[in-house]
Amino acid sequence: MSSASEAALLAKVPDRLFIGGQWLESSSGKAIDVIDPATGLVIKTIADASVADAALAMDAAAAAQDGWARTAPRVRGEILRRAFDLLQERADEFALLMTLEMGKPLAEARGEVTYGGEFLRWFSEEAVRISGRYGSNPEGTGRMIVTHLPVGPSYLITPWNFPLAMATRKIAPALAAGCTAIVKPAELTPLTTLYFARLLEDAGLPAGVLNVLTTSAAGEITTPILADSRLRKLSFTGSTAVGVRLLKQAADNVLRTSMELGGNAPFIVFEDANMDKAVDGAMLAKFRNIGQACTAANRFIVHESVADEFAARVTERVRALSVGRGTEDGVTIGPLINEGALDKAERLVRDAVDRGATVLTGGGRIEGAGTFFEPTVISGVTPGSAILNQEIFGPVLSIIPFTDEDDAVAKANDTEFGLVGYVFTEDFARGQRLIETLQTGMMGLNVGVVSNAAAPFGGVKQSGIGREGGAEGIHEYLETKYVLTPNPFA
Ligand code: NAP
């Protein structure tokens, strides 16, 4: 990838706020520098939204709401379908943009374009399937109508780790349901959302239906938006700590909320597992997105009789990973997002080692430009280690042994999180038991990735509330209305 093609792409990405169908400068005149984590260099400078800009975006979303809700579902679906088609045409651009602002290897960024695009296609199809029901009440005295109406203007907050997919996973169902929206991408990776807003404009989305606020003052601009009585919905993807704070604010305005929060996924390998499948699954579940995924396997809970074999085989695979800038051929591990992420990975490994774990490969940061961490395997992690309770969000695979199924389940459930779990066993009855005993919203049975636009994505416990994707996803943006009419024959 040449630096000329990178520059040409970056020049095409809007650097302003998208409000009411217009690309506006920030009213404060402030700007955000967007940095390539592989080099530490500024790649583009964009508008930094203020509270006054947030008020304009709220006005625009509220003004467009009734018109968009009354737009025929087929028309809404066709705009999303055009957006899907345009995304296929611009797939290479979106992939490169994500690699530049977030660091993931290009091949993975292309995978995210496919995954993110599927939400556009899926919800373009769901837009015309919003149904209701009609029937007699049990007494026979009346007729009951149940219908589903758009919730109303929605505020969508997304994280930096999947800049496109986290945006389309919220924007597509909101628009399909007939809701207008304000989207606030992460400060670290705002360019993909801006370029996606341009794509929606090209797909024919009417002015004001989607508004984009890029900002360095997330808390400041969010407080008045959440307090505005015209807002009806908050959808947030990010850390549990921020999610809890936003839930409290949303309560004051009794907002509908969808919260996709942090994870601490267990990856359980039973003694009867197919070891080839388990090792392949582990590499995907751990090292996809440089370990920076809410679904990343955080704890490898492996039966004591196969723990050494599993450790040896994953270590061999991890040593073969190639670290570098994601634009370079053959790179499989890019940089972590920033210095803070490096510090956290380093601190968690050091704590585990201090408590008795062994480093089998890697273990520390890579000195030089960019924020790179060595792909790492540690085994013999002992109870009480911080790495078992916190999201690592980096390329560190940590192994703890277990003795029997009850012990494995107890260890897996010993966390306040409950997003996803991975189970490797050839015993189907055991797999079925784990479906019911593992306290997670999702489970991979002999697979290392579960995400799919057609599936309900989401967690239990402190991993969140609500589901994105699947038939469930559009209902997060629909309100149920019940109507009673008299029996027409009475
Ligand atoms: P984060 O710090 O919670 O930030 C997420 C988003 O919230 C960003 O847009 C951020 O803006 C914004 N934000 C932060 N403080 C805010 C405030 N006071 N008011 C309003 N918005 C605020 O999380 P992150 O580090 O970006 O993302 C990683 C986390 O997301 C991990 O915990 C991961 O597990 C989770 N995640 C969950 C899912 C899921 O589906 N369950 C998917 C992906 C990621 P700024 O960037 O400007 O601070």
The answer as to whether 55 is a domain residue is yes
Q: What is the mean pLDDT of residues 399-423?
A: 98
Angstrom distance (rounded) from CA 398 to CA 302: 10
Indicate whether 126 and 225 sit together in one domain: yes
* Widest distance between CA atoms in the chain: 82
User: From the CA of 303, how far away is ligand 1's center (Å)?
Assistant: 34
Indicate whether 233 and 295 sit together in one domain: no
Indicate whether 150 and 286 sit together in one domain: no
Measured CA to CA in angstroms, residue 448 lies from 9, 313, 408, 430 at distances of 33, 16, 18, 18
User: From the CA of 444, how far away is ligand 1's center (Å)?
Assistant: 24
The answer as to whether 490 is a domain residue is no
User: From the CA of 139, how far away is ligand 1's center (Å)?
Assistant: 50
Cα-Cα-Cα-Cα dihedral sign, residues 482, 484, 485, 488: positive
Query: Up-side HSE of residue 311: CA atoms within 13 Å toward CB?
Result: 23
Task: Give the residue, by CA position, lying nearest to ligand 1 atom 18.
Answer: 219
Q: Per residue in 282-299, pLDDT tens?
A: 999 999 999 999 999 999
User: Which of 101, 118, 126, 294 is flagged as catalytic?
Assistant: 294
Atom of ligand 1 nearest to the CA of 185: 9
User: From the CA of 114, how far away is ligand 1's center (Å)?
Assistant: 23
Indicate whether 331 and 381 sit together in one domain: yes
pLDDT at 155 (0 to 100):
99
Atom of ligand 1 nearest to the CA of 261: 41
pLDDT at 13 (0 to 100):
98
Atom of ligand 1 nearest to the CA of 393: 31
**Helix (H) or strand (E) segment spanning residue 18:** strand 17-19
Q: What is the mean pLDDT of residues 355-378?
A: 98
Indicate whether 237 and 322 sit together in one domain: no
Q: What is the mean pLDDT of residues 265-270?
A: 98
Query: 363: Cβ below 6 Å to ligand 1?
Result: no
Clarify whether 179 is annotated catalytic: no
**Helix (H) or strand (E) segment spanning residue 135:** strand 133-136
Q: Write the single-letter amino acid at 74.
A: R
Q: Model confidence at 327, in pLDDT bands (50, 70, 90)? A: very high
99 touches 106 (CB < 8 A): yes
Global pTM exceeds 0.95? yes
**Helix (H) or strand (E) segment spanning residue 155:** strand 154-157
User: From the CA of 261, how far away is ligand 1's center (Å)?
Assistant: 8
Task: Count the Cβ atoms, other than its own, within 10 Å of residue 447.
Answer: 15
Indicate whether 29 and 165 sit together in one domain: yes
Indicate whether 214 and 90 sit together in one domain: yes
CATH number, residue 70:
3.40.605.10
Clarify whether 260 is annotated catalytic: yes
pLDDT at 1 (0 to 100):
55
Q: What is the mean pLDDT of residues 377-395?
A: 97
pLDDT at 404 (0 to 100):
98
Indicate whether 197 and 325 sit together in one domain: no
Angstrom distance (rounded) from CA 298 to CA 397: 7
DSSP state of 140: S
Q: Per residue in 157-204, pLDDT tens?
A: 999 999 999 999 999 999 999 999 999 999 999 999 999 999 999 999
Indicate whether 231 and 301 sit together in one domain: no
Query: 419: Cβ below 6 Å to ligand 1?
Result: yes
The answer as to whether 486 is a domain residue is no
Angstrom distance (rounded) from CA 124 to CA 414: 40
Query: 388: Cβ below 6 Å to ligand 1?
Result: no
The answer as to whether 85 is a domain residue is yes
The answer as to whether 54 is a domain residue is yes
Number of structural domains (the chain) is 2
Measured CA to CA in angstroms, residue 440 lies from 293, 370, 396, 400, 404 at distances of 16, 35, 22, 19, 20
Region for 4 from its dihedrals, namely left if φ exceeds 0, alpha if ψ lies in -120 to 50, beta otherwise: alpha
Q: Per residue in 99-158, pLDDT tens?
A: 999 999 999 999 999 999 999 999 999 999 999 999 999 999 999 999 999 999 999 999
The answer as to whether 79 is a domain residue is yes
Atom of ligand 1 nearest to the CA of 457: 40
pLDDT mean across residues, the chain: 98
Indicate whether 428 and 340 sit together in one domain: yes
Q: Per residue in 208-229, pLDDT tens?
A: 999 999 999 999 999 999 999 9
Q: What is the mean pLDDT of residues 272-279?
A: 98
CATH number, residue 432:
3.40.309.10
Atom of ligand 1 nearest to the CA of 240: 32
pLDDT at 304 (0 to 100):
98
Res. 34: pLDDT tops 80: yes
Indicate whether 312 and 343 sit together in one domain: yes
- Tell the residue number behind the tokens 């008299």, with chain if given: 486
Indicate whether 16 and 141 sit together in one domain: yes
Query: 294: Cβ below 6 Å to ligand 1?
Result: yes
Angstrom distance (rounded) from CA 101 to CA 122: 27
Q: Model confidence at 33, in pLDDT bands (50, 70, 90)? A: very high
Q: What is the mean pLDDT of residues 79-107?
A: 98
The answer as to whether 308 is a domain residue is yes
HEC states along 400-451?
EEECCHHHHHHHHHCCCEECEEEEECCCHHHHHHHHHHCCCCEEEECCCCCC
pLDDT at 236 (0 to 100):
98
Query: 242: Cβ below 6 Å to ligand 1?
Result: yes
pLDDT at 14 (0 to 100):
98
pLDDT at 283 (0 to 100):
98
Task: Give the residue, by CA position, lying nearest to ligand 1 atom 41.
Answer: 260
User: From the CA of 239, how far away is ligand 1's center (Å)?
Assistant: 5
> What is the residue range of 30's domain?
3-261+464-481
Pocket test for ligand 1, best of 189, 193, 216, 239 (most atoms within 8 A of CB): 239
Query: Up-side HSE of residue 55: CA atoms within 13 Å toward CB?
Result: 5
The answer as to whether 236 is a domain residue is yes
Query: 161: Cβ below 6 Å to ligand 1?
Result: yes
Task: Give the residue, by CA position, lying nearest to ligand 1 atom 30.
Answer: 238
Angstrom distance (rounded) from CA 249 to CA 128: 33
Angstrom distance (rounded) from CA 205 to CA 202: 7
